[in-house]
Structure 1
């Protein structure tokens, strides 16, 4: 949600460090949910839906920049600095806590996971982050 602002300013303040995450499109999550409702998997399966590849903040910034033609640099910040910036931007305390916690977990490597659960469930591969940026570059710019 902050990528348009990041691209506008040219700076993405992140506490992710060198951690990685595997973004999945919201539309792909909706397709997986609809598929699971229409054809429930057998048994008590736990599915972890991920994108096809893990990326660091710098990788994501490079993809966003390449797609939009706007330069984007990552500025590493501490969790405390991130919280202060988010609070100063007017975000509610519970959102500040959630976003800082997510970035701490990314930094710790807890989101660096790629599964084939989406493909197993839906019969197709999840769309890439690059394709997301390409398809949404006008909204991002």
Structure 2
């Protein structure tokens, strides 16, 4: 029998995937076993952090297919990804299904998209089979872009983004993990059904959620200055500001058919993602 391991099960996407697959999951790899969700079939729960090569190798021994949710954003994220991918290869994992980013590239405008490109390169070089799920920005995150006053501030202009619901990402992952060999070597771009601007998102969130949202354009300099109250770390500031710059560039506006192609259902609209 194929042994499937799932990471990230304490988060939204990984948790949905683990619960949907139920008895098909053989192992949950988590940082803290006390936070592991209940999954039908009671899969084995093993503790390991991405940056711990020895623990990760032990956690992945005997695993055939690995669902790897990308690590939390941090200045050492690339090192953590590469360590975990190396551990998977050493443990004999046959295939990795990795949650990447729609604009993953060495020179991605969204700076964290460069981290995903680096991880993809490490997986390609590992000798393992792979499937990349390149997610757009999450549509259900958009309310979190707003301050307490409901205002979203950033240098996105009128650029558009085909944001995707996390539930759709999970739906795709479930289908891929049910038949991983079928999707080996595929790079799947996961988007919503349409592209919208930040300004349009605010109007639609206002109608859907019943309280006002609005968009205020910032210059790049203003965006950095307004965020220094929360962090002074350059990598974090770059990530926050480049989110808007990536939207503004239009490079994330293309709508992909992959969600419907793989799941058989249309991707969720912004309103459906927020409901």
Larger Rg: 2
For the aligned residue pairs, the C-alpha RMSD in angstroms reads 2.0
Residue of structure 2 equivalent to 1:110? 251
Is structure 2 residue 177 aligned with structure 1 residue 37? yes
Are 1:87 and 1:93, in contact at CA under 8 Å, matched by a contact in 2? no
Are 1:49 and 1:115, in contact at CA under 8 Å, matched by a contact in 2? yes
* TM-score of the superposed pair, with normalisation by structure 1: 0.83
Residue of structure 2 equivalent to 1:139? none
Are 1:20 and 1:54, in contact at CA under 8 Å, matched by a contact in 2? yes
Q: CA deviation at 1:14?
A: 1.9
* TM-score of the superposed pair, with normalisation by structure 2: 0.45
Residue of structure 1 equivalent to 2:77? none
Give the strand-richer structure, 1 or 2. 2
Q: CA deviation at 1:42?
A: 4.6
Residue of structure 1 equivalent to 2:211? 70
Are 2:154 and 2:241, in contact at CA under 8 Å, matched by a contact in 1? no
Give the helix-richer structure, 1 or 2. 1
Distance 2:213 2:255 in 1: 25
How many residue pairs get aligned? The number is: 134
* More contact order relative to length (CA 8 Å, sep ≥ 6): 1
- Structure 1 gap ranges (5+): 136-141
Change (3 A) 1:128 1:99: same
